[in-house]
Amino acid sequence: MNTADKKIAEVLAKFDEPMAGNVWRVQGTAVIYHKTLERIAAQAKIIFDEPKIIRAERDEAVIQVTGRMGERIEWSIGEALVGVNYRVSGKQAAYVYAMAEKRAKDRVILKLIELHGFVYSEEEADEFKQSRPGYAEHAVEAERTEPEKTKVEVTTGGNVEEELKQKIKKAKTINAVTDLMLHADTQKLLSSLPEGIRDEIRDFAKARLVELGWPTKKAAAA
């Protein structure tokens, strides 16, 4: 585990969040789920001030967000411009204000927990979100035919989650579990599974990490 990954893992552990299952890589860049940052913000009791609208157009929004964690205060800007840094397709609606707010809040959270520059939110760029486990499956779900679904079941043996759980169980160290979950093949495997099963595997990996001595929130605090 390199220095940056060690830093990410140590900070996430303070909030009882393992790196495995919450972080993946896009061309070497560490990316974290928005929902993970939301959980961390709740645990850290981060309070956000009312956002300031800097730019408001039909297809563009720029919002400033300020967050407070104890005595610490950080602010950041969130931007969303359709067709430039925020892409929509088909009949998908463009929620530029919601996206700008998400990006600003995620940046503030990362600043407050001192991970800004080490890891990026999935909302930061379309290529981050589109590379996350399960995104491709979700994007084409409406276009899938029943034969295609059957083909996936055949190629995975219909029991892929159990096979992955066995690999997690056989991992002998914290780093081994983390490396397994971050591996490109694992990410591809996870993308073929429904969200509920992916969350189940994430929880299974977290339980295995705890078994191997991974610090829970209480342990990290101690």
Assigned domain for 18 exists: yes
Q: Is the pLDDT of residue 152 over 50?
A: no
Query: Which of residues 45 and 142 earns the better pLDDT score?
Result: 45
Per-residue pLDDT tens over the stretch 121-145: 999 877 676 666 665 544 444 344 3
Round the average pLDDT of the chain to a whole number and report it.
Answer: 83
Assigned domain for 114 exists: no
Of 55, 41, 186, 183, the residue nearest 111 (C-alpha): 41
CA distances from 43 to 15, 38, 104, 153 (A): 7, 9, 19, 38
The gap from C-alpha 156 to its chain's centroid, in whole angstroms, comes to: 24
The band of 175, judged by pLDDT with boundaries at 50, 70 and 90, is confident
Of 61, 20, 13, the residue nearest 208 (C-alpha): 20
Q: Is the pLDDT of residue 153 over 70?
A: no
Contacts of 104 (CB under 8 A, 6+ apart): 51, 63, 64, 65, 76, 77, 78
Assigned domain for 56 exists: no
Assigned domain for 120 exists: no
Assigned domain for 57 exists: no
Res 141: pLDDT: 44
Assigned domain for 142 exists: yes
Q: Is the pLDDT of residue 165 over 60?
A: yes
Q: Is the pLDDT of residue 220 over 70?
A: no
Assigned domain for 58 exists: no
Q: Which domain holds residue 159?
A: 1-33+132-222
Res 215: pLDDT: 78
Assigned domain for 50 exists: no
| Prediction pTM value | 0.75
CA distance 182 to 30: 10
Structure tokens at 187: 């990410």
Count of structural domains within the chain: 1
